[in-house]
Structure 1
Amino acid sequence: MNQLYRRNDALNVNPPVVNGKTSDINITVRGSDWYWAVCAIMTTAALVFSGLSHTKPRPQRLFHYITAGICFTAAIAYFSMGSNLGWTPIDVQFRRSDSKVSGINREIFYVRYIDWFITTPLLLMDLMLTAGMPWPTILWTIFMDWVMIVCGLVGALVKSSYKWGYFTFGCAALVYIIYQLGWESRLHASHIGPDVSRVYLMTGVLTIVLWICYPIAWGVCEGGNIISPDSEAVFYGILDIFAKVGFGAVLIFGHRNIDAERLGLRIRDYDEDPAVHPSTTGEKRSNGGSNGVTNGGQQAAPAETTATNV
């Protein structure tokens, strides 16, 4: 039995030392075990979402692929954190007497922010494309999301009280994102249809509630050094499971009977291209002349018609 049991040895293989500097406040084997568990959950979810994409025609798989990509990226991040990699020691602003958070510096997992930099824009695309929002609004909201993530990372890497300035900028960006999700996108989705509105409300409310919890986690972890890195792992891990896996499950289930074209997404399949299939009908040739994803935009007029108008 002892030969079958294999202990998590990641902390011995990858000790808490970076560039010759040892971190005082680190995860233990418990924290590493939890990160591995979340990695397994994210990997399983990514495989399931990817597999479910084959139940839909190729032009209808956009949301499956985006959601699977979110979980695949998170799985890699949690693999890194479970391996005790992707972190750097940063001197804490607040010294604590509690033995779990006592010390000069704390390990900050910057790989977590790399994960968020990739996955949160994809999550916003899932939501805002569901609501049929125009691309300029989506891109601007994604920019504000990047501002929020980068400010969170920079603030976590600053040891002085100036970290809270970055925290404030990040929270301001979050307020704008919540406004877009809770007001404009919600109204947009309600005009498409009750089924789309229902899916958007479930996923949108879930996202808003969970994203409000992330600044709280930052404040008691990287910012205030109040809870231990193991508790930090549990806090962020639970939020990520609901924000990625739970969100993805609700979204994919809700999209099962929603046609992408209703959301303004005209995605051309390769067999609609006359260059691939010369026998394609005239109607399909007209569709094949679109730009692939119009998001509600109008197709360009045929060349002959344009010349006549001129």
Structure 2
Amino acid sequence: RKQLVYSSCRAESAGKALADVMPDETVHNILLTASLCMGFSAFSYEFMPTGDARRFNYIAMAMTGFCTIGYVSMYNGVGVIEVRGHDVFWMRYLDWAVSTETFLLGLAMLSGADRWDTIFILAMDAIGVLCALVGALIPAVVAPAYLLGAVVFAAYNYRLFGTMQVSADRMGAAVSAKYKRLTTQSMAAWCVYPVVYLFCEMTRALDETTEVALYACCDVIAKCVCCFLLLSQP
């Protein structure tokens, strides 16, 4: 009998803990909508013709596929913890760590970049995402983490528009033009993330619903739209 009561209490506590991390209805709907956008995009990229450059379909599908998993997880309350009274969606950063690396790998493949340029941009991006995660989880170090993240973001953008653009130029006028256009558009979209982070995780000037909505919009543009441009532009 005592064991039954104990088990009942544990089940009740577990249910309460799960309820505590489940997002509210509005946030829930935003996460669901983003999940559907990502999932539909990942599926549709399979059927976009790219001729001999089929590998870029796989890049686009992988990027949006990882995003779909991340958003479905957050929709179900997975990857969310409370820090100083605010929900931190740490799954978002795991999603970024995988999806942005995948897209940057695609840019490296498109430009014909050498091994060291590729390693550099992937390493800098990983450090930037880690800085964002640490800042969100440990508010005491959010300012230095934000600054370091901004520095590494600038560093790999310098490489993207520098030696990697030169590599793309060697691939011919068509590849050079496509690489420059795609990199400019995607990095312009990525520049919005530090601004959203400043007003959400860093200063908490915006509420959770607005935060989730802004990040979802950014993700749809930076992932779905940019991958579509990767596959659709001649």
8 Å contact from structure 1 (residues 217, 232) kept in 2: yes
| Aligned residue identity for 2:73 | S
Return the TM-score normalized by structure 1.
0.67
8 Å contact from structure 1 (residues 14, 83) kept in 2: no
Would the alpha carbon gap of residues 204 and 230 (structure 1) be closer, same or farther in structure 2, given more than 3 Å must change?
A: same
8 Å contact from structure 2 (residues 26, 209) kept in 1: yes
Map of 2:95 onto structure 1:
115
| Aligned residue identity for 1:15 | A
Map of 2:185 onto structure 1:
206
**1:247 matched to 2:226:** yes
**Could you list the runs of 4 or more consecutive aligned residues of structure 1 that deviate by over 4 angstroms after TM superposition?**
none
8 Å contact from structure 2 (residues 64, 223) kept in 1: yes
Map of 1:41 onto structure 2:
37
Map of 1:127 onto structure 2:
107
**1:15 matched to 2:11:** no
| Aligned residue identity for 1:130 | L
Query: Shift of residue 13 of structure 1?
Result: 10
8 Å contact from structure 1 (residues 87, 110) kept in 2: yes
**1:88 matched to 2:81:** yes
- Which runs of 5 or more structure 2 residues have no equivalent in the other structure? 1-15
Query: Shift of residue 141 of structure 1?
Result: 1.1
Map of 2:127 onto structure 1:
147
Query: Shift of residue 241 of structure 1?
Result: 0.7
Map of 1:51 onto structure 2:
47
8 Å contact from structure 2 (residues 165, 179) kept in 1: yes
**1:67 matched to 2:60:** yes
| SS, match of residue 89 in structure 1 | strand
Map of 1:31 onto structure 2:
27
Q: Which has the higher contact order (CA 8 A, sep 6+)?
A: 2
Alpha-carbon separation, structure 2, partners of 1:187 and 1:148: 24
| Aligned residue identity for 2:144 | G
Query: Shift of residue 67 of structure 1?
Result: 1.0
- Which runs of 5 or more structure 1 residues have no equivalent in the other structure? 1-11, 18-25, 92-104, 256-310
Alpha-carbon separation, structure 2, partners of 1:176 and 1:45: 30
Structure having the larger proportion of residues in helix: 2
Alpha-carbon separation, structure 1, partners of 2:115 and 2:233: 22
8 Å contact from structure 1 (residues 14, 85) kept in 2: no
| Aligned residue identity for 1:16 | D
Query: Shift of residue 159 of structure 1?
Result: 2.6
Query: Shift of residue 186 of structure 1?
Result: 2.1
Q: Percent identity?
A: 22
Query: Shift of residue 71 of structure 1?
Result: 0.4
The root-mean-square deviation of aligned C-alpha atoms, in Å, is 2.0
Alpha-carbon separation, structure 1, partners of 2:43 and 2:186: 22
**1:136 matched to 2:116:** yes
Alpha-carbon separation, structure 1, partners of 2:161 and 2:28: 36
Query: Shift of residue 154 of structure 1?
Result: 0.6
8 Å contact from structure 1 (residues 27, 229) kept in 2: no
**1:106 matched to 2:106:** no
Map of 1:306 onto structure 2:
none
